[in-house]
């Protein structure tokens, strides 16, 4: 009788696993050794990949050597090197040796901890590590497991926002009836991350019910509590139901910080769910000199930040804390018979599936726990401060060159600057935009650095986000020299 040979197929044989993993680890180590040799921004054209590989899957196994060769030849050229020390675009996505180790352990065990029973250690370590993080950030006790609140790890801020929006929505709709969904209003500033808009659509609130309240230069593009209150009152008068406010500590375009305490008071007065998005800048708040930006956080219902940005934790990892998990759980829990178990029935354990969108979830807590243990609070603070120092150094270089201007006072490690169009043209925004676009294009196409831009208050500027794990002073100096060279060329060719 024909049978599948069982001694030919061992997809998880420990000796092979060890040998092959070591080859991949050496491959990655070589990649890091050579990372400065690659153009930071990938130079390939759309569709470059298809002709390089067969258009059907292989019938027989291929060797790891062949696969790594193809990665070298076809994949690496199509990478934008986020871990390059010359990466200054968007916000950094910190990798670290500890982050890799944690990630390896997480995928090594490959447990699926949707409930306490499915891996008690994964659930209990997540609770513990979220309490550690909360203490490092000096979040008030109601956000901790000992104070009836608690934290959960998500993959992204978008997800955290969707879940808190759903919790807030259901709390209000249980009282008002489901038809009231068209009346719910969500408040943010015109600087709030686009994930709020997306989240609102996903939870079924009409996108026209988002109030993107205007911010301005004199307030550093932070949301004014007076503007907020006026908008809320207007909406109440028109029969709307104010639901949710998203405040930001460290906006994506320019690092603006909303006044957490003052906004929190307005939110409490009108019974809004108040979420604080500190995706980028939250990491900095482990340093006492930045912690004041979170003053008033006790007035928030939820708070989130991304260790996968600036906390040496490889993708992906987003921390979300809530003061009252009940409303999250009421909104997100499911209780099918096939998942029933004695532990859940005691109501004494956490089933994190009820705190997120998906059922399945990774043991991300292990990664964050390894990162924190391998560095310690003192080193993590040093890491933040050294990036801030480098950014402040870059800012001083910009300020010394009269052809340039720092557009906004630096926040954290993000410098917003631009080339000026010349004395008499200083107010010509069109010309400014053209010059700065050319300058940015010149820098990025050189392959020697990568930055991105933003437009805030009608002004186009270049963002230099310092903070890649490998960035040192010499890279910041190299970047500045590159910018100056390209600026000279742009100004020479400029037609006034």
Ligand X SMILES: *Cc1c(COP(=O)(O)O)cnc(C)c1O
The contact set with ligand X (CB under 6 A) reads 91, 156-158, 193, 195, 248, 251-252, 277, 279-280, 306, 318
Measured from the CB atom, the residue of 235 and 316 that comes closer to ligand X is: 316
Q: How far apart are CA 131 and CA 135, in angstroms?
A: 6
Measured from the CB atom, the residue of 274 and 280 that comes closer to ligand X is: 280
Q: How far apart are CA 450 and CA 408, in angstroms?
A: 20
Q: Which of 28, 316, 326 is nearest to 148 (CA)?
A: 326
Measured from the CB atom, the residue of 193 and 475 that comes closer to ligand X is: 193
What is the smallest separation between the CB atom of 328 and ligand X, expressed in angstroms? 18
Q: Which residues contact 378 (CB under 8 A, 6 or more apart)?
A: none
Q: How far apart are CA 321 and CA 359, in angstroms?
A: 19
What is the smallest separation between the CB atom of 260 and ligand X, expressed in angstroms? 14
Q: How far apart are CA 388 and CA 382, in angstroms?
A: 10
Burial 344-374 (b: 16+ CB within 10 A, else e): beeeebbbbbbbbeeeebbbbbbbbbbbbee
325-332 and 157-176 helices cross at what angle (nearest 10)?
Answer: 80
Angle at 278 between CA 257 and CA 254, to 5 degrees: 45
Measured from the CB atom, the residue of 158 and 200 that comes closer to ligand X is: 158
Measured from the CB atom, the residue of 211 and 438 that comes closer to ligand X is: 211
Measured from the CB atom, the residue of 248 and 323 that comes closer to ligand X is: 248
Backbone phi and psi for residue 314, each to the nearest 5 degrees, phi listed first:
-55, 150
What is the smallest separation between the CB atom of 333 and ligand X, expressed in angstroms? 23
What is the smallest separation between the CB atom of 443 and ligand X, expressed in angstroms? 22
What is the smallest separation between the CB atom of 284 and ligand X, expressed in angstroms? 12
Q: Which of 454, 476, 362 is nearest to 86 (CA)?
A: 476
Measured from the CB atom, the residue of 280 and 303 that comes closer to ligand X is: 280
Q: How far apart are CA 179 and CA 190, in angstroms?
A: 28
What is the smallest separation between the CB atom of 20 and ligand X, expressed in angstroms? 31
CA atoms within 13 A on the CB side of 338: 1
Spell out where 73-209 has E strands.
Answer: 150-154, 184-189
What are residue 460's DSSP bridge partners? 455
Measured from the CB atom, the residue of 93 and 419 that comes closer to ligand X is: 93
What is the smallest separation between the CB atom of 196 and ligand X, expressed in angstroms? 8
What is the smallest separation between the CB atom of 202 and ligand X, expressed in angstroms? 13
């Amino acid at each position: 009788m024909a049978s599948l040979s069982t001694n030919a197929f061992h997809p998880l044989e420990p000796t092979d696993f060890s040998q092959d993993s070591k080859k991949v680890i050496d491959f990655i180590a070589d990649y890091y050794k050579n990372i400065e040799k690659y153009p930071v921004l990938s130079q390939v054209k759309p569709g470059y990949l298809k002709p390089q590989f067969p258009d059907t899957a292989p019938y027989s196994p291929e060797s790891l050597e062949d696969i790594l060769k193809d990665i070298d030849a076809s994949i690496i050229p199509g990478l934008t090197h986020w871990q390059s020390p010359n990466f200054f675009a968007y916000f950094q996505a910190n990798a670290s040796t500890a982050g890799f180790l944690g990630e390896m352990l997480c995928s090594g065990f490959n447990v699926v901890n949707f409930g306490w029973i499915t891996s008690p250690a994964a659930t209990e370590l997540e609770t513990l590590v979220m309490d550690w993080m909360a203490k490092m950030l000096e979040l008030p006790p109601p956000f901790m497991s000992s104070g009836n609140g608690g934290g959960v790890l998500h993959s992204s801020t978008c997800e955290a926002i969707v879940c808190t929006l759903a919790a807030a929505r259901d709390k209000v709709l249980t009282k008002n009836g489901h038809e009231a969904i068209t009346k719910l209003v969500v408040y943010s500033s015109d600087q709030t991350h686009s994930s709020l808009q997306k989240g609102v659509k996903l939870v079924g609130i009409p996108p026209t019910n988002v109030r993107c309240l205007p911010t301005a230069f004199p307030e550093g593009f932070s949301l004014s509590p007076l503007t907020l209150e006026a908008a809320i009152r207007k909406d109440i008068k028109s029969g709307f139901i104010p639901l949710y406010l998203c405040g930001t500590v460290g906006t994506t375009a320019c690092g603006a910080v909303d006044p957490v305490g003052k906004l929190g008071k307005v939110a409490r007065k009108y019974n809004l769910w108040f979420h604080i998005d500190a995706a980028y800048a939250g990491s900095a708040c482990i340093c006492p000199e930045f912690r004041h930006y979170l003053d008033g956080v006790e007035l928030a219902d939820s708070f989130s930040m991304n260790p996968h940005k600036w906390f040496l934790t490889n993708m992906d990892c987003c921390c979300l804390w809530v003061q009252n998990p009940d409303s999250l759980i009421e909104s997100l829990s499911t209780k099918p018979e096939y998942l029933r178990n004695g532990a859940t029935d005691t109501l004494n354990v956490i089933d994190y599936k009820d705190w997120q969108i998906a059922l399945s979830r990774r043991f991300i807590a292990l990664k964050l726990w390894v990162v924190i243990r391998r560095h310690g609070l003192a080193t993590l603070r040093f890491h933040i401060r050294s990036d801030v120092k480098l950014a402040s150094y870059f800012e001083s270089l910009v300020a010394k060159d009269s052809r340039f201007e720092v557009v906004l006072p630096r926040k954290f490690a993000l410098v917003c600057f631009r080339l000026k169009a010349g004395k008499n043209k200083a107010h010509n925004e069109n010309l400014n935009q053209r010059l700065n676009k050319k300058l940015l294009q010149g820098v990025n196409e050189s392959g020697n650095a990568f930055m991105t831009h933003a437009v805030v208050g009608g002004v186009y500027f270049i963002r230099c986000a310092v903070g890649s794990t490998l960035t040192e002073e010499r890279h910041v100096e190299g970047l500045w020299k590159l910018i100056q060279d390209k600026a000279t060329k742009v100004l020479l060719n400029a037609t006034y």
